[in-house]
Amino acid sequence: MGGEGRPVFVAGAGMTAFGKHADRSLGALAQEAVAAALAKAGLEPVAIGLVVSANSMAGLLQDQESVRGQVMLRGSGLEGVPLVNVENACASSSSAFQVASWAVRAGEADAVLVLGVEKLFHPDKARTFAALASASDVPQDRQTRSMFMDFYAARARDHMAAFGTTAAQLAAVSAKNRRHGHLNPLAQYRDEVTVAQVLESPLVVDPLTRLMCSPISDGAAAIVLTRAELLPAAAPKVAVRGWGLRSGDVTGPEYRTISATARRAYDVAGITAQDVDLAEVHDATAIAEIEACEALGFAPRGAGGRLAESGETALGGRVPVNASGGLGSRGHPVAATGLAQLCELTWQLRGECGARQVPGATIGVAENHGGLVGNDVAVAAVTVLERVA
């Protein structure tokens, strides 16, 4: 969809704390996030014209298929509202966000609720790893870890061999994100760690240590999108300026797919990488953040490790990346991750992030990818938000 149509704004954003929620259902998590987003938007459920609900793993982990959103939102006051279920691996809710924005832009609905929710913790951890492996086209044996760690480890080894990236630079990404997560009350891990501690943590797949990898998480996030006339009068206006959504081309590497997606989003928004004030990127592992920063244009190809080590992506740096703590600290409940990124950008652009606030932030970019087809990610999504008033 092109850039024409009604301007789209974020009216409200809400999310749960991410972590282990063994005693809470998918529906309970979903409705907490939805209630928070609606309250922030100043809207009642009756104002919502469409719900776009994202979940990726409930069919395999909670035995809930086909009507996941309808079941999770039962009793929320949204019964009867048209609802579309979206499943697109780790990019499920960022994909849902783009679908929702197209609906508002096209004039099909004045207010759309977007939801992303996931529960990955399971008494049988092998079932969780098998569910994660199902987001690839490669048959997997019984797993003792996420097979995506093998994928990212190979990417890290290739990057190190081609560009001289070091393990210390990978560790700098993780230590920086833990510092940021320390400031986020909704983050799964809020303890700070040093580069040395990251390097000394148990090896998962060479060269990735445990602290370089995102955790298993439960959680939910929600956003209300609307047209300008329905925005709360006192709220700063945060507009959806650009979007890109792309499937991988099988041959890879994923860097090219993410880069092409970013170019599309930048073109729609009419910006360049130099205009971006902060970003939330998909640091499923430390190397993923390094390559995402290159793909988004914050550093030349091959220089992402040096960028991380320089401090320019930390709070107070040139372009803070993952001020929320990212997947490594905030957590990674698969289908909620994309919306969590967009919640963080919304709060940052509204000046609501307290100790982790990026001063004067005007333009924020979210990069979210997921799945694996051949040697490439299955899907990449890049979204540009801008504070316009």
User: Known catalytic residue: 122?
Assistant: no
Given the residues 122, 282, 332, 369, the one annotated as active site: 332
**What element of type H or E holds 180?**
helix 167-181
User: Rg of the chain over CA atoms, in angstroms?
Assistant: 19
343 included as an active-site residue: no
DSSP string, 253-309: -HHHHHHHHHHHHHHHHT--GGG--EEE---SBHHHHHHHHHHTTSS-TT-HHHHHH
Kindly state the DSSP code that residue 195 receives in the 8-state scheme: H
- Quote the CA–CA distance of 335 and 369 in Å, as a whole number: 11
Ramachandran area for residue 238 (φ above 0: left; ψ -120 to 50: alpha; else beta): beta
CB atoms within 10 A of CB 359: 8
Please tell me the distance from the alpha carbon of residue 18 to that of residue 192, in angstroms, as a whole number: 17
Interstrand relation of 83-86 and 50-54 (parallel, antiparallel or unpaired):
parallel
- Determine which one of 90, 213, 343, 353 is catalytic: 90
Q: Which residues are catalytic?
A: 90, 332
